[in-house]
Amino acid sequence: MRDQIAIPCLLMRGGTSRGPYFLASDLPADTAARDRVLLAAMGSPDLRQIDGIGGATTLTSKVAIVSRSSRPGCDVDYLFAQVDVAKPLVDTSPSCGNMLAGVGPFAIERGLVEARDGTTRVMIYNVNTASRIEALVQTPGGVVAYDGDARIDGVPGTASPIVLNFMDVVGSLCGAMLPTGNPVDRIDGVDVTCIDVAMPMILLRARDLGLAGNEGKEAFDGDKGRMARIEAIRLQAGRMMGLGDVTDKVVPKVGILSAARQGGTLVSRYLTPHALHAAHAVTGAVCVAAAAALPGTIAHECATPDETNPRTVLIEHPSGSIDVLLTVKRDGDAVDIVAGTLRTARLLMRGEVMVPQRRAGA
């Protein structure tokens, strides 16, 4: 009997992230067993992930799990999993808008959605956040096109554009746009905006942390004291937002904000949350953009004024910028957000990942 289990998957780049995409039916239905398989497949816990297909960073230790949807108006269900590099943890509490970019192509490649000649619309239900996303995938001749002229910062070269339109994103996990009821709270002497649009986040002014706002990796990952201070604030914010003890969770994420320097709307340094993102998460960009449109928040204070609707919010990040086309719909005190952004994806490899039976518990 073979001592390894072969599990079909496609290895894809989605936006500025990368990881295996699985059909849910190819993974164990039991959550604990599924997580053991994912840890073994990625090679965690190990800082090099040398015994798996993970890339030894938070951006390359991600998994997409996709299935045909039974929900009205949706084609597929998407469950995102963040596999910790150093710990035996699989976190499905957040979503990932970059990996989301590969879901439409994956669904077409695996026969879950029939491609049209030209552009194929894939309606995705995000299980993590109970929200819907419309993905527009280029499919000339009924085949996914990966080559194209679209460029996104954080990825070399160009590729075919994939448009993502986010819906139902307000209160994705916390149940409210402002979970504490306030546009600004004060934690450990620091002003914080706690907000949940597509991704629960806490937003801070860079200057309140002794930063200019345009710093790189060393100012964050290389400053253990500053990161410990931010983490202490994040843990308190998590409880205030109704998320409980977030010690072993990657939500809420952290955005360190300042005024734009390159003609954008504002600058964001996005923490994952224990390291600086090399670019910016898509769901995090949606959240920051929504906050920039909400008077009283730290993001609105830092942003270049713009009252048009819809508006393009251009967020400057370490690798360049990401733009969000934001439409704000108000009905009395109720606010709804629809956000669109452009991403790219590429199929890197198709085949089977081999998982040791002893690690999978089989």
Predicted pLDDT at 340? 96
Domain boundaries, the chain: 4-161+345-360, 185-334
In 10-34, which positions are buried (b, 16+ CB within 10 angstroms) versus exposed (e)?
bbbbbbbbbbbbbbbebbbeeeeeb
CA gap 92, 249 in Å, rounded: 9
Q: Is the pTM of the predicted complex or chain greater than 0.85? A: yes
Nearest residue to 162 (alpha-carbon basis) of 131, 129, 139: 139
Which residues make beta-bridge pairs with 22? 65
CA gap 201, 31 in Å, rounded: 26
Position 247: which residue type?
T
Nearest residue to 73 (alpha-carbon basis) of 171, 168, 198: 168
Domain 4-161+345-360, CATH number (from 3.90.79.10, 3.90.1170.50, 3.20.20.70, 3.10.310.10): 3.10.310.10
**Mean pLDDT, each 10-residue run in order, the chain (362 residues):** 92 98 98 98 98 96 98 98 97 95 98 98 96 97 98 97 95 94 98 97 98 93 94 98 95 98 97 94 96 96 94 96 94 86 98 94 62
Predicted pLDDT at 1? 58
CB atoms within 10 A of CB 217: 13
Predicted pLDDT at 335? 84
CB atoms within 10 A of CB 128: 22
Q: For residue 140, say if its preceding peptide bond is cis, omega within 30 degrees of 0.
A: no
The number of residues in the chain equals 362
Three-state DSSP state, 312: strand
Burial of 198 (0-12, 13-18, 19+ CB in 10 A): buried
**CA–centroid distance for 345 within its chain:** 14
CB atoms within 10 A of CB 361: 12
CA distances for 159 relative to 21, 283, 307, angstroms: 19, 21, 32
Domain 4-161+345-360 and domain 185-334 have a common topology: yes
Predicted pLDDT at 359? 87
* CATH, domain range 185-334: 3.10.310.10
Tokens read off for 347: 């199929």
Predicted pLDDT at 345? 98
